[in-house]
Chains A and B, each alone.
Chain A
Amino acid sequence: MIKLALPAGDLRTPVADALESVGLKVEGYGEGSRTYILSVGGHERAVARVFREKDIPIQIAMGSYDLGICGLAWIEELRARYPQHPVASLRDLGVGRLGLYVASAAETEGLGSLGGRRGLRVASEFPNIAEAFALAARLPAYRVQAVWGAAEAYPPEDADLAVIAAGDEAAVSAKGLVPLLRMLCSSAWLIANADSLAKKDLSPLLGPLAGSGSRGEAQSLRLPPPLPAGTGEKRPAPARRQSLRMALPDGHQQRHVVAALREAGLLPLAGYDETRCLRRPKSALAGLEIKVIRPHDMPQLVATGEIDLAVTGRDCLTEHLSRFPSSPAEELVDLQRCQFNVAAVVSEDVPASDLDGALAHWRAQGNRMIRVASEFPGIADAFARSRHLGRYQVIPIAGASEGFVPEDAELLIEGTETGRTLVENRLKPIDLLFRSTTCVIASRERVLSGRRRKLFDQVVSSLRMSANAG
């Protein structure tokens, strides 16, 4: 059986079109099916699964999948950390074109001006590429902030530089940043596991795909030269903050948060409602500064004191505290919205109704290694330790986890709202870890005074009242 990994997200439609144009119709893929196991029409020996783009090169490198399609940027992200990975780039499909840029907030005077500056913070969804940039530029004592998304929103307050994907330089500028260096021109590539390519007949898929895209060499990362050593000046200490900084989430929590804010009388926010999502919406409350970022990234910013207050999911806070037990981030208000269970999930075929039964089943089958795939590797790791899984492996993934069980993982640690997706994918929950909900978080070590303290109390008590009323 040939296994093909296909991307979810923005690449779904163009990749489905590209496949269809060479006669490879993947049932349900282009329509955005939530079923993650798809058959490749006309080829009984081929099966496709949908993954988050970021996970595809890893799946190919591990040999779990023979062929995959994903952006070159994610292939380079893997290569930057693991240069020997066994992934062969076969064809540029010519869709999903993006550049990978190093960008800064407006006041930076070009790349050269960064030379020798100590302690620069680089935010990126591509932390390995960001690291390769910092090392090549010889930035002293840099810090890479790995974020789930919205890296463009970090400079200048929460990072000095961002490594982001954007259509072109104008698109970088439209995000309010100055492009300093284009590190890569990315597009969707057909990739293969080197071992599969050497030993397995992949021609039923490779044949048709040979007619699509172009065969040119895959570009490699363009790294900066060593920057001049400069004076070794430290990043200037931030000025004493006058405003209260609050983070709100984008993504599926946004509509729930908009409803909570409306209930609390904190709307309107210019640029943040059911339909719009600006990174810096304007509040009518004087002194309240709002930034919209990924909910996963909020606990860290709260813990470091960059953000005073954030609305995120309890799942994200629990993940942060699982990885960093002494972090000062804490839950202040349960908004009781966007509720779902975080559970341990297995294949329907596992003849057990609880974890102990499932473990006994796997061990009886000779499985010494229990593979746990999760978007929440910290929670998964803490779960595996506390439930005595024995020899286990946590596979951190970016999403679309349903596709992993049973071939590529025994167990998922997964958020489930209605359970419908689980049923569709022949999965079942066997253990409840906790119930997640949208909540307000802050640092228990916060130091607020005067107007900022007053505003903090006002916002928190409004949100608390709205939660109680709901």
Chain B
Amino acid sequence: MGENLRCRGMRDMLPDDMRRFRRVEEAFRTACLGWGYEEIRTPVLEHLHLFTSSGTLSPQMLGRVYSFLDWDGWSGERVVMRPDSTIPSARLYGEYLDGGKLAKLFYVQSVFRFAEGDESREDWQCGVELIGESQPQGDIELILLAREVLARLGLDADVRVSHPGLVRAVLARAGLDAAEQLAVYDRILDGDAGALRELQERLPDVGASLGMLLAVEGEGRAYLNNLRSTFVESIPALEEPLDELAVVVGALEPLGCRCLISAAMVRNFEYYTGPAFHLDVSGQKVGSGGRYDALVSLIGGEHVPASGFALEAAVLADLLPAEAPEARQIVTVVARADDGESLASAFRLAATLRAEGLAAQVAGTAPDDGPRVAASGEGYVLSGVSGKGRRLASVEAVAEALRQTGRD
């Protein structure tokens, strides 16, 4: 086919991609089950209003969702191909899991967001939601769980932690209203030095050291202590987020998890409510998460604390080495003739061989050196392995002979 029939931004996964993808999925599932999480899957279509009312997606993100009127959407109520799995999980929790109780959920599913050019518009996520846990051990558990998944894949991740309260406190102290806060912060994230300068002018008592908070990444408890001694007197609202981070980092470091502190990391800081983190492998972002305690109540449930993370499954799969397909001997059962009775007999024999733990096919061509078996008189003839055909008396004998050649 000369023409590319695939939709832009959509990806086919070939057998090699799938082998690596399944490795990621298995590492993730094994780790999650080990920490007591249970698997869920949510539908591809959701009501758009779930996402516009939850406030966890920025207007820019909501402007890139795939939404449309369903066949019964005459009221104008639109549906959307899930652009995110956290909100559907919170909906599922509210509807089925008796609000107020602790729920430890995980999923492997894709999300759909428009992206320019050939960038991916369908992203697979290995996601975890911890709903109903307000204590810092929840945040710590999530980071350790994410690291364990990566360790199972042989990947070493950098952990960057942050707290939206840091940026919020600085911008509020600078006297900016909600819209100005968003605009200035976007400029800082885009590397606009002028924005930082303007902010410094608005905060003369903090001045040049603001760059240390917003532009520098520090390490662990030591850096947190430096931030506290430099800023808390001028910006008292920084104390609470710094305290929360200190607990999380204070637990992770003794467990061998190095944490970088990056105040200006949380892009949509208006939505997160507590510690947030990113995971990078060889400089590439492979996952992120954080705490958003208002989530369940914003979509109409009770006020329940919630936090979670998502790993980019396809990105991780691409980081893994290619894997040779499992060497499997497939035996081809050759029918005596093309009539129904002979074919039925061949399929029956193949089923019996599969029940013996072998891979057996009737359709398809036997590879040149692959084993073939055919019913002959009262017994069977096995050919294609070690020289000329061998006559065997029973299916069990055929199975044993094939197992033997597999071992050889």
Question: Which A99-138 residues sit within 8 Å CB-CB of chain B?
Answer: 118-119, 121, 131-132, 134-136, 138
B76's partner among A132, A139, A144, A225 (CB-CB below 8 A) is: A144
Contact check, A324 vs B53: say whether CB atoms are below 8 A apart: no
On whether the beta carbons of B53 and A141 are closer than 8 Å, the reply is: yes
Q: Which of A118, A131, A138, A303 contacts B75 (CB 8 A)?
A: A303
Q: Which of A121, A132, A145, A327 contacts B72 (CB 8 A)?
A: A327
Interface pair A143/B49, CB less than 8 Å apart: yes
B31 close to A (CB within 8 Å): no
Known: A140-B53, A141-B52. A135 touches B75 (CB 8 A): no
* CB–CB A304/B52 < 8 A: no
Q: Can you sample 15 A-B contacts with CB below 8 Å?
A: A118-B53, A119-B49, A131-B63, A134-B52, A135-B59, A135-B63, A136-B59, A138-B55, A140-B53, A140-B298, A226-B179, A226-B182, A226-B270, A300-B75, A327-B74
Measured in the bound complex, the distance between the Cα atoms of B63 and A132 in whole Å is 8
Interface residue ranges of A306-341 to B (CB < 8 Å): 320, 323-327, 329
Closest Cβ of chain B: how far from A409's Cβ, in Å? Answer: 21
Name B49's closest neighbour in chain A (CB-CB). Answer: A141
B residues neighboring A (CB under 8 Å): 49, 52-53, 55, 59, 62-63, 69, 71-78, 116, 177-179, 182, 270, 298
Knowing A225-B179, A226-B178, say if A139 contacts B52 (CB, 8 Å): yes
Residues from chain A with Cβ under 8 Å of B75 in the complex: 143, 300, 303-304
Complex Cα gap A170–B71 (Å): 40
18 extra interface residue pairs, beta carbon distance < 8 Å, beyond A138-B55, A143-B76, A324-B73: A84-B116, A118-B53, A135-B62, A136-B59, A140-B49, A140-B52, A141-B52, A141-B53, A225-B179, A300-B75, A300-B76, A304-B75, A323-B71, A324-B69, A324-B74, A326-B71, A327-B72, A329-B74
Question: Quick one: closest A residue to B54, CB to CB?
Answer: A140
A88 vs B52: C-alpha distance when bound (angstroms) = 32
CB of A322 to closest CB in B, whole Å? 10
0/1 string, A135-175, CB within 8 A of B gives 1: 11011111111100000000000000000000000000000
Residues of B within 8 A of A140 (CB): 49, 52-53, 55, 298
When chains A and B are docked, how far (Å) is the Cα of A141 from the Cα of B51?
A: 8
Report the minimal beta-carbon distance from A380 to chain B, rounded to whole angstroms.
Answer: 16
Q: A130 CB to closest chain B CB, in angstroms?
A: 11
Q: How far is the CA of A85 from the CA of B74 in the complex (A)?
A: 29
Chain A residue with minimal CB distance to B179? A225
Contacts of A138 in B (CB 8 A): 55, 59
Total A-B Cβ pairs within 8 A: 65
Q: Which residues of A contact B (CB under 8 A)?
A: 84, 118-119, 121, 131-132, 134-136, 138-146, 225-226, 228, 232, 299-300, 303-304, 320, 323-327, 329
- How far, in whole Å, are A303 and B72 apart by their CA atoms in the complex? 10
With contact pairs A142-B52, A226-B182 given, residues A325 and B71 touching in the complex (Cβ less than 8 Å):
yes
Task: Find out whether the CB atom of A303 lies under 8 angstroms from the CB atom of B74.
Answer: yes
Contact B72 A326 (CB under 8 A): yes
Return B52 CB to nearest CB of chain A, in Å.
Answer: 6
Closest to B61 in A: A135
Contact B179 A320 (CB under 8 A): no
Q: Which residue of A lies closest to B294 (CB)?
A: A229
Contacting residues, chain B, for A145 (C-beta < 8 A): 76
* Residues on B with beta carbons closer than 8 Å to the beta carbon of A132: 63
Closest to B177 in A: A225
Chain B contacts for A327, CB-based, 8 A:
72, 74
Chain B's closest residue to A304 (CB) is B75
Q: Which residues of B contact A136 (CB under 8 A)?
A: 59
> Bound state CA distance, A225 and B181, in angstroms?
11
- Complex: how many Å from CA A232 to CA B76? 21
3 residue pairs, one from A and one from B, having the closest CB atoms = A225-B179, A140-B53, A141-B49
In angstroms, how far is the closest chain B Cβ from the Cβ of A370? 17
Complex-state Cα separation, A141 to B69, whole angstroms: 15
Contacts of B73 in A (CB 8 A): 324
- Rounded to whole angstroms, the CA-CA distance of A48 and B179 in the bound complex is 44
Residues of chain A within 8 A of B63, CB atoms compared: 131-132, 135
Query: Hey, which chain A residues are within 8 Å of B49, CB to CB?
Result: 119, 140-143
A143 CA to B75 CA in the complex, in Å?
9
B182 lies within 8 A of A324 (CB)? no
Bound Cα distance A331, B72 (Å): 18
Q: Give the residue of B77, B179, B270 whose beta carbon is less than 8 angstroms from that of A143.
A: B77
* Alpha-carbon separation in the docked complex, A232 to B179 (Å): 19
Closest A-chain residue to B70, C-beta based?
A324
Provide the bound-state CA to CA distance between A140 and B62, in Å: 12
Residues of chain B lying within 8 A (CB to CB) of residue A141: 49, 52-53
B63, B77, B270: most-surrounded residue (chain A CB, <10 A): B63
**What is the bound-complex CA distance between A168 and B329, given in angstroms?**
79
